[in-house]
């Protein structure tokens, strides 16, 4: 089943049609504490949501746990949800990931609709069928592939975002530009994140989602080309897991941005990615995301975390690297010394 992704201009009509297409016996809306306050008021008076039962979980990635998942299952069960019920996930990537997994597993699967409210969720988490939770200190360790019936992207929600969360999502757009073409990347590198033009950003979101949709359509279960979407994530997830373990979590997109610096360095060393582009992107990321403070004493721990990446095979860490913008090289293996050099470049370059 092809995922129905709508770049919304009339959310009332589009959401109503999406719900009607499912024809649920009961309707549920999942939010976290933040989206309940900031985003639910935007849609709560829609007639198509009349009688919907609310389920709310804690905010931030720290709530993306087995306990939160069980709380959603419990709420669905106690409210009499059946296999013909519908769950609407209204929130960022944590909500769409966890809510999608809850729906995919409750009574062996009920329908769900995603309404992503953060830039990160719009261009990444809510599109492509990945659902899941963090487990045992590792990002997205448990989950399934399962498409939402519909994803409704309405950029009006981006006005509720603070600058850090906007930048977090923008890092995934940068990644999409890097695996796409020079024109797309140049547009992203010249966009002013300090003075956001929301109309321009809306058009860029549409292009960015299009890049992901094309790749996912060709490789829905990540056997080949979809690994292109892992650019920046092997090192980025290690940064993210380290920060979480240290009790100072960082936003996903910031970790990805920092991971891009490391993996583009590896690309320059192993695949002749242009060094001028590397330094241009490094400068943009330093300016907009700062630099994660790591010491060489943490290198072994970071390397160990990279060995847990789900795209690895037979104990080998598999990177997605680039020969140039749009020249994707999947399943690239490098030595531990190479990885430590990339971390040196990140810290000191």
More confident residue, 278 or 308: 278
Q: Are residues 149 and 179 in the same domain?
A: no
Residue-level pLDDT at 314: 66
CATH of the domain at 312: 1.20.1090.10
Residues 197 and 131 placed together within one structural domain of the fold: no
Q: Angle at the Cα of 258 (from 39 to 310), degrees rounded to 5?
A: 80
The tally of domains found in the chain comes to 2
Measure Cα distances from 317 to 1, 123, 132, 137, 190 in Å. Answer: 32, 26, 22, 19, 33
* Pairing mode of beta strands 86-91, 111-116: parallel
- 288 and 340 in a single domain? The answer is yes
Evaluate whether residue 68 is within a structural domain. yes
Tell whether 167 is covered by a domain: no
- CATH (domain of 137): 3.40.50.1970
Last residue of a domain, one of 104, 128, 160: 160
User: 265 and 216 share a domain?
Assistant: yes
In a shared domain, residues 145 and 177 = no
Hey, what are 1's tokens?
Answer: 């089943």
Lowest mean pLDDT among 199-208, 237-246, 312-321: 312-321
Are 212 and 229 in contact by the 8 Å Cβ rule? The answer is: yes
Query: How far apart (Å, rounded) are the C-alpha atoms in residues 28 and 214?
Result: 30
- Same domain membership, residue 266 and residue 155: no
Q: Which of 160, 195, 215 is the last residue of a domain?
A: 160
Q: Cα–Cα distances in Å, from 341 out to 241, 338, 347?
A: 20, 5, 10
Q: Which pLDDT does position 125 carry in this prediction?
A: 78
Judge contact between 294 and 265, C-beta under 8 A: no
Based on its alpha-carbon atoms, the radius of gyration of the chain, rounded to whole angstroms, reads 20
For the segment 136-142, the average pLDDT, to the nearest whole number, is 88
What confidence score (pLDDT) does residue 220 get?
86
Say yes or no: 16 and 101 in one domain.
yes
Domain range spanning residue 91?
A: 4-160
pLDDT over 70 for what percent of the chain? 99
Same domain? For 149 and 178 the reply is no
Question: Is 90 exceeded by the pLDDT of residue 315?
Answer: no
Query: In the prediction, which pLDDT does 113 show?
Result: 98
Residues 125, 190: one domain? no
Reported in sequence order, the residue ranges of 69-191 that DSSP labels E, i.e. its strands, are 86-91, 111-116, 133-135, 138-142, 150-153
- Alpha helix segments (H runs only) across 179-298: 182-189, 198-218, 233-245, 252-271, 275-289
Q: Are residues 273 and 320 in the same domain?
A: yes
Of the listed ranges 20-29, 233-242, 307-316, 325-334, the least confidently predicted one is 307-316
pLDDT, mean over the chain: 94
Q: Which residues are catalytic?
A: 108, 130, 172, 212, 222, 226, 230, 233, 237, 252
Helix, strand counts (H, E) of the chain: 14, 10
Residue 316, pLDDT score: 83
* Domain C-terminal end among 160, 190, 225: 160
**Residue 311 sits in the same domain as residue 185:** yes
């Amino acid at each position: 089943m092809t995922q129905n992704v709508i770049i919304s201009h009339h959310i009332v009509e589009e959401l109503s049609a999406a719900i009607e297409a499912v024809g649920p016996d009961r309707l549920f809306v999942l939010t976290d504490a933040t989206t309940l306050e900031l985003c639910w008021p935007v849609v709560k008076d829609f007639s198509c949501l009349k009688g919907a039962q609310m389920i709310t979980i804690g905010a931030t990635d720290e709530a993306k746990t087995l306990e939160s998942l069980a709380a959603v299952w419990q709420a669905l069960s106690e409210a009499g949800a059946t296999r013909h019920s519908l769950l609407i996930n209204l929130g960022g990537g944590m909500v769409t990931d966890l809510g999608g997994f809850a729906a995919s597993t409750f009574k062996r699967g009920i329908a769900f609709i995603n309404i992503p409210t953060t830039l990160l969720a719009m261009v990444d988490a809510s599109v492509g069928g990945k659902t899941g939770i963090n487990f045992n200190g590792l990002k997205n360790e448990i989950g399934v592939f399962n498409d939402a019936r519909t994803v409704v992207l309405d950029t009006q929600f981006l006005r509720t975002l603070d600058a850090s969360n906007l930048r977090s999502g923008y890092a995934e757009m940068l990644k999409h530009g890097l695996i796409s073409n020079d024109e797309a990347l140049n547009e992203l590198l010249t966009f002013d994140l300090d003075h956001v033009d929301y109309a321009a950003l809306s058009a860029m979101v549409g292009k960015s989602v299009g890049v992901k949709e094309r790749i996912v359509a060709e490789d829905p279960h990540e056997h080949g080309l979809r690994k292109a979407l892992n650019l920046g994530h092997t090192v980025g997830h290690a940064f993210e897991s380290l920060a979480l373990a240290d009790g100072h979590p960082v936003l996903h997109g910031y970790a990805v941005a920092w991971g891009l610096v490391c993996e583009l360095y590896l690309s320059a060393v192993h695949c002749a990615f242009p060094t001028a582009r590397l330094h241009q992107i490094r400068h943009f990321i330093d300016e907009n995301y700062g630099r994660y403070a790591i010491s060489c004493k943490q290198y072994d721990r970071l390397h160990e975390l990279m060995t847990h990446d789900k795209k690895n095979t037979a104990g080998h860490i598999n990177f997605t690297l680039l020969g140039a913008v749009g020249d994707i090289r999947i399943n690239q293996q490098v030595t531990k010394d190479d990885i430590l050099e990339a971390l040196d470049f990140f810290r000191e370059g």
